[in-house]
Structure 1
Amino acid sequence: MKRPGPLLTLLAGLVLGVFLLSLNATTGTKNASSYQEEPPGASVSPGAPSASVSASASASPSPGVSPRPSPTRGAVANADYAGRTDDDSSAVAVSVRGGKAIAYFCDGHDKESWLKGDVKDDGTMKLTGGHGDVLDGKLRDGKRIDGTAAVGGQRYGFRADKTVKPSGLYRATATVRGAKVDGGWIVLPDGKQVGVVERDGTPSAAPEIDPETGAVTIDGQKIVARPVVP
């Protein structure tokens, strides 16, 4: 009987080779399938947030940041106004700054009143002074103020037009020859002046000031009147 040595060895090696090739093919397919479960080229670090979480976080507003407020509209511009009462007996001046106003009423002889208060965004104002004095006014298109002034138990209608310097409202306080002096002046748009000076509380007609410098001489002493703002 012949020995099948070489032929049998060859057949056994061929079978083993086919088995190994089949095993490698199966393993490679499985590994490739597992690898493709992640997007090609994606690099995911351990603990990194998902894309949906990152998008939500970026869309959310930053904590503690408030929306920027819209600019205020209708605010009244800073300006000065001066004019006369309807009966032409007295003068009225109003200075407006930052939503506040101060007004001066005087007849150029012995009646005067300082009043102050707020100006609303629509231009209306209710200013109050001593002894129950009240000025009710309305700003018209930024060009004038008209209204009424109740001073010393009497009511006056008035109109005050917008002014440019040196027209406007001035005041000076000082001690002159031992007396406390407090003076108020209204320089009207036409250049005329109306003012009252109190000496220790006693009122009288005020001498004219130099509207360019505010200089005025009272009882032989030179003092300076300054523009009045709220």
Structure 2
Amino acid sequence: MKRRGPLLTLAAAAVLGIVLLLINISKEDEPSKPAAAAQSSSVAPSATDTLPPAAPAAIPFPANANYEAEISTATGVITLSITVEGDKAVAYACDGAKIETWLKGSAVSGVLDLTGKDSKLDGRHDGSKVTGTLVIGEKSWKYDAVQVQPPAGLYVYQDGGTRTSWIVSSDGTVTGVQRAPNGATSAAPGLKDGKAVIDGKTVTVTQVSGADHDAF
């Protein structure tokens, strides 16, 4: 009788070795996958990471203050004057020829909110200047208005339905517009030392403050 036990054992071992070899080869052919730890290391930024920094809080206005700015436009320069007293403010903007608007409103906690006929103005006080937007009709402009000291400021003279308005800048430059009762506008006459010649007579003009809020 022949002994087949050892041969069968060797054959089984050979088959098992071939199977293990094929399994290892198939694993090597599979695409490698990133480790879970590597995948978890990349964290998407939160919504708060992309938000712009909050604007600093506005600084309350002094009890009385005047601010002025020059705004460049496609057709020239608009001069803006803002006068604040307490929690009220008056502003005037003009180009020294045809464009002009008066505005009034609140000056609370360093924030301006003024409106006029077909115009509006907002602004924030940072302690030395006021930054905001002036809107006249369908046009709007950004502005930075710096604080000025008298005699710089806003002046007006009204008589017989005609209103003449001037802005005196810190360098002494005067910009103004005269509005007739029918709404026609023209350059205001010269102003010097608080006086102007209107219709042949010399008149003393009035400097405007936030307290004159209800006069416009």
Smaller-chain TM-score bracket: 0.5 to 0.7
| 8 A contact 1:108–1:205 mirrored in 2 | yes
Instruction: Give the alignment's Cα RMSD to 1 decimal.
Output: 1.5
Q: Deviations over 1:79-121 (max 9, x none)?
A: 1111211446100000000111000011111111110111121
CA distance in 2, matches of 1:106, 1:225: 18
Equivalent residue runs for 1:169-208 within 5 Å: 169-175=154-160, 180-200=161-181, 201-208=183-190
Q: Deviations over 1:124-158 (max 9, x none)?
A: 11100012x110111121x2112111013211222
1:117 aligns with 2:98: no
1:135 aligns with 2:135: no
Task: Rate the CA distance shift 1:169–1:128 in 2: closer, same or farther, 3 A.
Answer: same
Which stretch has the larger CA shift, 102-111 or 220-229? 220-229
Which residue pairs with 2:202 in the alignment? 222
Measured after TM superposition, the shift of residue 224 of structure 1 is 2.0
Which residue pairs with 1:149 in the alignment? 134
CA distance in 2, matches of 1:113, 1:101: 14
TM-score if structure 1 supplies the norm length? 0.61
Higher radius of gyration, 1 or 2: 1
Q: Deviations over 1:147-205 (max 9, x none)?
A: 11101321122222111111011111013xxxx32011111112111110012121101
CA distance in 2, matches of 1:95, 1:108: 19
Count residues with an aligned counterpart: 148
Task: Rate the CA distance shift 1:92–1:129 in 2: closer, same or farther, 3 A.
Answer: same
CA distance in 2, matches of 1:75, 1:111: 30
**Which of the pair is proportionally richer in strand?**
2
Unaligned ranges ≥5, structure 1: 1-73
For 2:69, give the aligned amino acid: G
User: Match of 2:133, SS?
Assistant: strand
Equivalent residue runs for 1:57-136 within 5 Å: 75-77=60-62, 78-87=64-73, 89-121=77-109, 123-131=110-118, 133-136=119-122
CA distance in 1, matches of 2:134, 2:143: 7
CA distance in 2, matches of 1:203, 1:153: 20
| 8 A contact 1:109–1:195 mirrored in 2 | yes
For 2:104, give the aligned amino acid: K
Segments ≥4 residues shifted beyond 6 Å: none
Identity %: 33
TM-score if structure 2 supplies the norm length? 0.65
Measured after TM superposition, the shift of residue 227 of structure 1 is 0.6
1:161 aligns with 2:146: yes
Measured after TM superposition, the shift of residue 75 of structure 1 is 4.4
User: Match of 2:170, SS?
Assistant: coil
Unaligned ranges ≥5, structure 2: 1-58, 211-216
Measured after TM superposition, the shift of residue 219 of structure 1 is 2.6
CA distance in 2, matches of 1:152, 1:184: 20
